[in-house]
Amino acid sequence: MSQHSNLHVLIAEKQYLIAMEVERILTEEAGCSNQICGPSLQAELDAARYDVVMLDVSPSPQHNLSRAQMIVDSGAWVVFLSSYEPHSEENKALADYLIIPKPFDSADILAALRWIRAKKEAGDRSA
């Protein structure tokens, strides 16, 4: 059994093929239960409890921050998936959150899950 098997992850990635790859990694390599998000992030957060939400970075830093706050308010950890350059304005605004650059490999996602697991076990919500 995977060390991440009791994590429930919501995948809120707009590019469906990328969402499916994240789903594959979470299922096959991390052993996590997961769900690909429908059209409304808020509806998904209201419908179920998630430990982690992985979502794509949008071009609007304010939109990213409001979505991140919505996720934190639901009790989940935020992991952004970003195709922007590491020092872009889009990513600078998200300095308090985990960011996995696209393209990613499974090691990136597994490392983020290990970090979140350690933080959860320590009762630490800081990024």
Query: Average pLDDT of 28-56?
Result: 96
| Residue 74 to residue 1: CA distance in whole angstroms | 27
| CATH numbers and ranges of domains, the chain | 8-121 (3.40.50.2300)
Tens of pLDDT, residue by residue over 74-95, are 999 999 999 987 767 767 778 8
101 upstream amide cis, omega within 30 of 0: no
Tens of pLDDT, residue by residue over 113-126, are 999 999 988 888 77
pLDDT band at 1 (very low <50, low <70, confident <90, very high): very low
State what percent of residues in the chain have pLDDT above 70: 93
